[in-house]
Structure 1
Amino acid sequence: MKPLPTLRQLRYLVAVVDRCHFGQAAEACLVSQSSLSAGIQELEDLLGAPLLERTRRTVMPTPLGREIAERARALLKDAEDLVDLTRSAADPMAGPLHLGVIPTIGPFLIPRVMPDLRAAFPNLKLYLREDQTARLLDRLNGGELDAALLALPYPMGDIEALDIAEDHFFFVCLPEHRLCASATAHPIDVAMEDLLLLEDGHCLRDHALAACALDSAPRNTVFQGTSLLTLVQMVANGLGVTLLPQMAVESGILRGLNLEVRPLDGERPFRRIALVWRRSSGRKETFRRLAATLKASLAVVSAPPATP
């Protein structure tokens, strides 16, 4: 029988390729640097080709080493999914679960649903990772995360998703603003204002513009914020207007600020909140139950937020 690489050897290679540093890779693998170096040397001897270029100061993968590392990621992910499948068969809602969440969802949804999750799944150990969508998907595909809470639509590739809520958009401005005279705000009118949005990289920016049909409309963008908290402070200081998701408004993000909230007229534009996971994951039953509980926690339909 042809000798095959071990998962341990492949894990060592991926760690070095990711970090280009033996010490950091050894620390990530929880082994000594000598053990990691020996494991990679064994892999190179087995394959009969160098996988890393080493000098006294640097290490970098050869073209073959980089390709093998990419294939190794898929093998390691599949092996982890096999383990997850076995554990899930015993109790789908027990053990650790690494969940990603984007910054425009986490601070507003997690505090709201966590009591229900603890009550429903007392044996589930939930570890949260907050980051932007693209990086969360990279971690999900790489096996670092089990699932993620994202806002859709977003291109995801070979990922499964279950919608758990619709998060409607609302117009926010100062009380003296001309658009406060009406009970609702029209997207075309919003497009003509100094619209404050999150910076590029935050999917909420694109969702708000697309849902409100503003992505192709002429508009003024005077500020790009790094968080929704920053945006509302800018609005409160008279720099413009903004669009906020309903979950942020209901969480009290405008509390203490002299600002007005208006629903958008028409078809009440929204973003979709969904739980997503790898299609190959062995914990699909876990994610379905988790999604059902999240959906139930958010099922109460709120009236348009009142002015703080």
Structure 2
Amino acid sequence: MNITLRQLQYMLALEKFRNFSRAAESVHVTQPALSMQVRELEQSLGLTLVERRPRDIRLTRAGRMVIDHALRIDAELKSLEADLRRGQGQVNLGVIPTVAPYLMPSALPRLQSVQSGFRLREAQTAELLEDLRKGRLDAAVIATPAPETEEIELFEDHFLLAGLPEALERMAGLAPDALDPGELLLLEEGHCLADQALKVCNVNREAQSVDLGASSLSTLCALAASGMGVTLIPEIAAMAEKNSSPDLALSRFGEQPGRVLRLVRRADAVDDGEWFENVANILREAGQSVIDKARSEFPVAGSYRRPRLQAAQ
């Protein structure tokens, strides 16, 4: 069976005009050409679709079934054409795990309002870039430069030191590279934030006393709040993780180490780039709003913020 869109188009014309000549004229072909295509469709299906009469035609039950499906297919094709004209087809977006839980809750509703479809994938940088290369993703939010990509910088995300108040008091004034590697808690290998923390603190994993293999910032912050050590936390996660771990204190470094978040896509992408800029603008605005709240709560000039005391019950 090999049903073509042309044959379905001719069937729709026949259903509308109930006459081979007028149907052929409406689709700009000769009557014999249209009649031959309908015959070939009937032979392919092994069914009679049209009862040919001297003055008009009638559709058989099978013919009406073909028309029902042809109408749905025609509607989908028109919808596809409209989406392509507007550049609003589904966007597959990848986001690294140290950004997705903190940025996307505020950004995603706005993204969905300007795109007809949106699919989100959370994964480490290497996986996102591989999916981008293979065309499974249209764009990705990452924190490191990537070769063979077009990028738009979104915002700068500074690192804070997180731990118990007494630990931060003891480390007050220290530069990142003066921290004790044995107290530093890091994400498992493969997370760019872990690599950035190692670079900022000028240590290697072998110097750590505990290899946690933690896969989320929430785990690290909970461990730091329980006195297991200290960790670096980006501003974009600061408010959410502080609210989740009330015992956690946060402190800024004087020199403000950090990372730059960027939206990337393949450099050889051939589609219209307007959607790419629109997505970047929405992500930038949403991310900067989260960052501004963190900077207001934990100002650059401050040392650290003690946990709020709980009222007596």
Q: Shared topology, TM-score over 0.5?
A: yes
1:214 aligned residue (202, 212, 216): 202
Q: Counterparts of 1:216 and 1:226 in 2: how far apart (Å)?
A: 18
Q: 1:192 to 1:256 in 2, by over 3 A?
A: closer
Aligned to 1:169: 159
Aligned to 1:101: 95
Q: Counterparts of 2:264 and 2:242 in 1: how far apart (Å)?
A: 26
Aligned to 2:281: 292
Alignment check: 8 A CA contact 2:236 2:287 kept: no
Alignment check: 8 A CA contact 1:180 1:260 kept: no
Question: Shift of residue 87 of structure 1?
Answer: 7.8
**More strand per residue:** 1
The answer for unaligned runs of 5 or more in structure 2 is: 1-80, 299-304, 308-313
Deviations 1:73-129 (Å, cap 9, x if unpaired)?
xxxxxxxxxxxxx9886213x12011111111111110122233344x1x4311001
Once the two structures are aligned, what percentage of the paired residues are identical?
A: 35
C-alpha RMSD of the superposition: 2.5
Q: Counterparts of 2:258 and 2:136 in 1: how far apart (Å)?
A: 30
Q: 1:253 to 1:234 in 2, by over 3 A?
A: same
Q: Counterparts of 1:193 and 1:182 in 2: how far apart (Å)?
A: 14
Q: Is residue 292 of structure 2 the alignment partner of residue 279 of structure 1?
A: no
2:193 aligned residue (204, 229, 235): 204
SS in 2 for 1:124: coil
SS in 1 for 2:288: coil
Question: Shift of residue 254 of structure 1?
Answer: 4.7
The within-5 A match list for 1:1-308 is 90-92=85-87, 94-119=88-113, 121=114, 123-153=115-145, 156-177=146-167, 179-180=168-169, 185-210=174-199, 212-215=200-203, 219-222=207-210, 223-266=212-255, 268-281=256-269, 282-300=271-289, 301=292, 302-303=295-296, 305=298, 306-308=305-307
Q: Counterparts of 2:233 and 2:148 in 1: how far apart (Å)?
A: 30
Q: Counterparts of 1:253 and 1:143 in 2: how far apart (Å)?
A: 37
Q: TM-score if structure 2 supplies the norm length? A: 0.62
Q: 1:252 to 1:236 in 2, by over 3 A?
A: closer
Question: How many residue pairs were aligned?
Answer: 215
Aligned to 2:20: none
Residue identity matched to 2:97: P
The answer for unaligned runs of 5 or more in structure 1 is: 1-85
4+ long deviations beyond 6 Å: 86-89
Q: Counterparts of 2:283 and 2:251 in 1: how far apart (Å)?
A: 27
SS in 1 for 2:90: strand
Q: Counterparts of 1:167 and 1:209 in 2: how far apart (Å)?
A: 16
Alignment check: 8 A CA contact 1:141 1:278 kept: yes
Question: Shift of residue 299 of structure 1?
Answer: 3.1
Q: Counterparts of 2:306 and 2:263 in 1: how far apart (Å)?
A: 31
Alignment check: 8 A CA contact 2:179 2:201 kept: no
Alignment check: 8 A CA contact 1:159 1:279 kept: yes
Aligned to 2:26: none
Q: 1:198 to 1:91 in 2, by over 3 A?
A: same
Q: Counterparts of 1:124 and 1:185 in 2: how far apart (Å)?
A: 49
Q: 1:256 to 1:134 in 2, by over 3 A?
A: closer
Q: Counterparts of 2:153 and 2:225 in 1: how far apart (Å)?
A: 33
Q: Counterparts of 1:208 and 1:167 in 2: how far apart (Å)?
A: 13
Q: Counterparts of 2:306 and 2:274 in 1: how far apart (Å)?
A: 41
Question: Shift of residue 189 of structure 1?
Answer: 3.2
Instruction: Select the structure of larger CA radius of gyration.
Output: 2
